Structure 1
């Protein structure tokens, strides 16, 4: 049985009772393009496998799940080619099991992997199965995590370099400051933890990362997108612009000399190359809903939705959160940041009323401060560079800890307040 270790998702559960908590799934590389056929003797296993097929890390996997056992598999493959992996649930005795496996071996291709899920917890049986070439033997009942770890141990190179974690920021509405928050979080993470970070501005037409960092790089994300045949670690390094000691930027051209209509897989190779190049990737995703943005968000390791406290933002946030939860059933719900809170003369929805239909709480409440944000933008500096002692700087620092899994925010049982609420109130007073 494989002893390969996996890095667990260290991002904490931020809210004790209200955050939707899917079953924990270990973080591993996306599986390659393979075909899997599963034969299940129980409805429970069929349900687990169907859930695993929906996971974003199995987007390239073609999985077929049917009722049956080893005999069914033997009959099926006697008349059709075998897939890359056959997964079978069995309840037969050990002697009968060996007979059926011998019959299955006669109709399977030599390169086909076989995983058995049985109900007999016997180490001698396991050793015999391994001796006969079985890739893995799991004891029922199995969980979603068991299945995905098993598949990863078989098809992912254990010596491969770990992939960088991706965090996608998206605004619930245009103008809510999603890009500004993304840029400040990327800079703060790289500075606080000295973590090599890549910020990718995905808004090729109207991106602002180059303005926020007061840079005008001659190349950037457009060259990567339009030259996929050249895209590798070396080419990416040429396109990156250095923003700080540990932060590099893939800038958008921010020009309208062409239209930027992409298909769903346009950014797939770029994301993979970036994840091989740095331990953290921050994706500044524009407020659009297209094939490519939908795919980008669905495959990110973490999603942050930035919203302002009004009715349009509430509707859009609700739609985004519900849709992304369906697209990412095995990941935690997108995180919420409420920005521009307390804007003078603007009617706002109370924070509690905003969060109630979302069934979550914000990880940060950022007060409206036109002077601070304006000064930072006009000087091409980050908030913490402009005024390190400002309450907003402290909030962004806390965000950096949360998004990298270095702190866990929990409710104060005595006061009933969360750290997010305390930060928001403190910022409001100041």
Structure 2
């Protein structure tokens, strides 16, 4: 029988178990790593690990050639924070070559060995001699990130908060309103500290929705990143509720807000050390910093209304995030403002089908509830706690904090929506 064509993307695609394992890992700090590999089967997973968002700060270089190549290389080059070495040598020869390597290695450099012998005695001898970890091939990309994380992420350090980025598929779909209400719901339901960061510096609405007018906010942090630490950040926060704080946007046009791709990195890193839950209200723009923010978030939530342009934009976002976050679960989808009178709409089933994502919530159009809440600077749960929409917001909060799982629904049949999208382009 003829073999099917080899598809490396299918082979490299993470399994659900991989995604779950990666979700538990925290970002690796800014370190340098050099790997010396003897086989493509080991070099490939290491290279893919370097592309994962948790390794975004890491400088990784992969060389072909094992321990002898490393010894020759470090005769004239400084050693990095971590060296990963693949060796197919038998245990005695491996130990001997590592003694030679130690003569050209900095004492502070950590070493991970990827071997081809499943030998407990060898493992113990390597650990005794100062090797950080011994892993038996074959390895996966998850194995690589896990080993590096176990060495450089301090298990005794303060836990890093979970970041949830909300973005609208179009302007005006209600992404900010949903983000603010979910944040309020999480802080109320779970008695957990929640921080909201309004990243729309020019037109942000968090200050209006929470009825706040702070003198300082997120602009001070972004324009002075060198000053940002937990103490400085605490001074910029506005307290919206007992356990809910806000980094408010200035919402003024006194200056332009052109940022580089890393502009919000220091702020977000510091905020994640300050609160267990960080809600990022990302404006509907596509720039270096918004792309970077979505790529690094622990969870991404896309809010859309049931119209064709929203479907096109949602698909573009999901496809791009799949490339940027190949080892993470797909974004969550919320369909909002469903059932506007006399407006032709795409059904929730037809909207979801070409995306391959089941909406986590379908929120009906109810202008009186949302309008009254907005005009009074109150959350939906404060206006009408028993409203079904408030119950939906609470369910979203449960899913995003891992307290419950989204129930899958039976898929509808394929429509011609993708063809319509192509015609519209």
> Partner of 2:351 in structure 1?
354
> Distance between the aligned counterparts of 1:390 and 1:404, measured in 2?
22
Contact 1:274 1:281 in 2 (8 A): yes
Please point out which of 203, 210, 214 is paired with 2:211: 214
Alignment correspondent of 1:191: 188
Task: Select which of 198, 203, 227 maps to 1:201.
Answer: 198
Extract unaligned runs of 5+ from structure 2.
1-13, 413-425
Structure-1 separation of matches of 2:144 and 2:156: 21
SS in 2 for 1:23: helix
Does residue 370 of the first structure (1) align with residue 370 of the second (2)? Answer: no
Supply the distance in 1 between the matched residues of 2:156 and 2:404 (Cα, whole angstroms): 30
Question: Could you tell me whether the CA contact under 8 Å between 2:219 and 2:250 is conserved in 1?
Answer: yes
Paired residues, number: 397
> 2:251 aligned with 1:254, yes or no?
yes
Deviations 1:362-407 (A, max 9, x none): 1111111111111111111111111111111111010000000001
Q: Which has the higher contact order (CA 8 A, sep 6+)?
A: 1
- Which of 381, 401, 417 lines up with 1:404 in the alignment? 401
Corresponding position of 1:242: 239
2: CA distance, partners of 1:390 / 1:165: 28
CA root-mean-square deviation = 1.8
Q: Which moved more, 1:201-210 or 1:47-56?
A: 47-56
Contact 2:33 2:59 in 1 (8 A): yes
Match of 2:83 in 1: 86
Q: Which residue is 1:23 aligned to?
A: 18
Higher deviation after alignment, 227-236 or 401-410 = 227-236
Q: Structure 1 residues 124, 325: CA separation in 2 closer, same or farther (over 3 Å shift)?
A: same
2:94 counterpart of 1:97: yes
Deviations 1:204-258 (A, max 9, x none): 1000011111121111111111222322211111111111111001111111111
Which range moves more in the overlay, 403-412 or 360-369?
403-412
**What secondary structure, in the 3-state scheme, does the structure 1 residue paired with 2:309 have?**
helix
Normalised to the residue count of structure 1, the TM-score between the two structures is 0.89
How far has the Cα of 1:188 moved from its partner? Answer: 0.2
What is the CA deviation profile of residues 165-185 of structure 1, one whole-angstrom value per residue up to 9, with x for unaligned ones? 000000010000000000000
**Correspondence for 1:424:** none
Distance 1:276 1:401 in 2: 22
CA contact (8 A) 2:353 2:411 kept: no
DSSP 3-state at the match of 1:146:
helix
Q: Distance in 2 between matches of 1:68 and 1:358?
A: 43
Q: Name the TM-score, length of structure 2 as normaliser.
A: 0.90
Q: Which one of 316, 319, 326 corresponds to residue 316 of structure 2?
A: 319
Q: Which of residues 201, 222, 226 in structure 2 aligns to 1:225?
A: 222
- CA offsets per residue over residues 251-297 of structure 1, 9 Å max, x none? 11111111111111111111111111110000000001111111111
Between the aligned partners of 1:122 and 1:143, the Cα distance in structure 2 is: 20
Which of 29, 39, 42 is matched with 1:32 structurally? 29
SS state at 1:242 partner: strand
Aligned to 1:284: 281
Is the Cα contact below 8 Å between 1:205 and 1:254 reproduced in 2? yes
